[in-house]
Structure 1
Amino acid sequence: MTEQDAKLIDANSATSGASPQIRVGKDDCPSPHSLGNKFGRVVWGIAWLLLFRPSPRLCHGWRRLLLTCFGADIGRNVRIDPSVRIWAPWNLTLGDESAIGHHVDCYNVARITLGAHATVSQYSFLCTASHAVTDPHMRLISSPITIEDQAWVCADVFVGPGITIGTGGVAAARAVVTRDVPPWVIVAGHPATDLKRRVLSGPQEA
């Protein structure tokens, strides 16, 4: 619990004479999602189960087509593993030659954007939404995630709402990214902190 949360609880207790009550029932917390959003996710869930998930691993073009049909903005030669979970394809932008590895979870209540040649490795969780911990109804809050050109999210990384990983940045394996990653910087740890600069070796293309 943060100091701000503790102060809010103290203030609520002082005004009400009792601890504030969390109310997360359906009547207290109506869904923020429209009927159209819910229907679209049902249809997409069926398509994912029957057409996306069973597709052979090398059929990237087929999965690109399916995602495009559901509103995703897909660049050239994008590679997406069939086990990738995508909450809302219409909130997904993938740049040219970007890649998403197996069992990545894209919880894109808000938009997730990958730049050109960006990579998200296996078992990572891109989470654009959470709940307001100081709200008695724990309302849903969301903010987009941007992974810029040539950035790399390594295996089993958590990327939180509103995060931007700058051009060429790297989140090392199992990092918990709760703040923006500067361009060409490698971060690691829980929470992720700057480790060192990413310096490319060898000849570079023009």
Structure 2
Amino acid sequence: MQFSVMSLASLSGYAPGVSLNAAYPRWACAYYLAFDNFSLIRMTQVRLSDFDASPFDRGAPLMLEAIWYITKRVFFLTSIPWPSKIKCSLLRLFGARIGSGCVIKPRVNIHMPWKLFVGDDVWIGEEVFLLNLDRISIGANCCISQRAFLCTGNHNYRIVTMPYRNEPILVEDGAWIGAATFIGPGVTVGREAVISAGSVLTQDASAGMVYAGNPCGIVKTRWKS
């Protein structure tokens, strides 16, 4: 695909002898390079316009999804501290499996409740984002701290159309996901493991171990005895 420099001249104020960097917006210079008598040629193999989401199973009718987004906006994304019992009941109404005694703080973003499974006595902190394009399962007595991001969504970057490559996330009983931690698709966080604040975890975490860093690595055992 080519774009003529002269066809954009009237919009940019370009004049002969003026540097392209000076004549065009910075974003245009970042994405296109000048070649062949001032023609602009797109220099990437990626074709996002050909992305096909049709193989992806959303798991619910679009109408139900639309109703969920309205419900989420009112009860979950707000700073109003609606009681956790109300929020848990709403999640169950939309197909989530939620255990007893769960605490859900304000501004929690749950993408698809019908793909969410939560055990008993789980804490979900402020501004947690559960991007569950695939299933997210959280065991009993887990803590998901503030601004943690559990992301099941992914793309196959080796294919030019970047199709979905989503995978489920499993957080086993007693695990603690620290604040502002990223948990990638396909990851299992082992029983009673601790992922320290700000970590990036893209591989499985062993049970009973404390992890930290980017990339995330073992720091020590959780229990002293």
Q: Which amino acid aligns with 1:30?
A: D
| Greater displacement, 62-71 / 35-44 | 35-44
Matches of 1:21 and 1:136, distance apart in 2: 6
Give 3-state SS (helix, strand or coil) of 2:92's partner: helix
Matches of 2:184 and 2:61, distance apart in 1: 22
Q: Equivalent residue for 1:78? A: 102
Task: Indicate if the aligned counterparts of 1:20 and 1:136 stay in contact, CA closer than 8 A.
Answer: no
Give 3-state SS (helix, strand or coil) of 1:187's partner: strand
Measured after TM superposition, the shift of residue 34 of structure 1 is 5.2
Q: Which amino acid aligns with 1:129?
A: G
TM-score by length of structure 2 reads 0.75
Give 3-state SS (helix, strand or coil) of 2:87's partner: helix
Q: Deviations over 1:132-188 (max 9, x none)?
A: 110110001111111110000010000000100100000000000011000000000
**RMSD over aligned Cα, in angstroms?**
1.9
Where does 1:23-172 land on structure 2 (aligned, <5 Å)?
23-25=47-49, 28-32=50-54, 33=56, 36-54=60-78, 56-57=80-81, 59-172=83-196
Task: Indicate if the aligned counterparts of 2:76 and 2:108 stay in contact, CA closer than 8 A.
Answer: no
Q: Structure 1 residue runs of 4+, over 6 Å off?
A: none
Structure showing greater Rg: 2
Matches of 1:55 and 1:72, distance apart in 2: 22
Task: Indicate if the aligned counterparts of 2:200 and 2:214 stay in contact, CA closer than 8 A.
Answer: yes
Task: Indicate if the aligned counterparts of 1:91 and 1:112 stay in contact, CA closer than 8 A.
Answer: yes
User: Any gaps of 5 or more consecutive residues in structure 1?
Assistant: 1-18, 202-206
Give 3-state SS (helix, strand or coil) of 2:150's partner: strand
Matches of 1:113 and 1:37, distance apart in 2: 22
Give 3-state SS (helix, strand or coil) of 1:65's partner: helix
Q: Which amino acid aligns with 2:53?
A: S
Distance 1:55 1:77, change over 3 A: farther
User: Any gaps of 5 or more consecutive residues in structure 2?
Assistant: 1-42
| Percentage of pairs with the same residue | 35
- Count how many residue pairs are aligned between Structure 1 and Structure 2: 181
Q: Which amino acid aligns with 1:182?
A: S
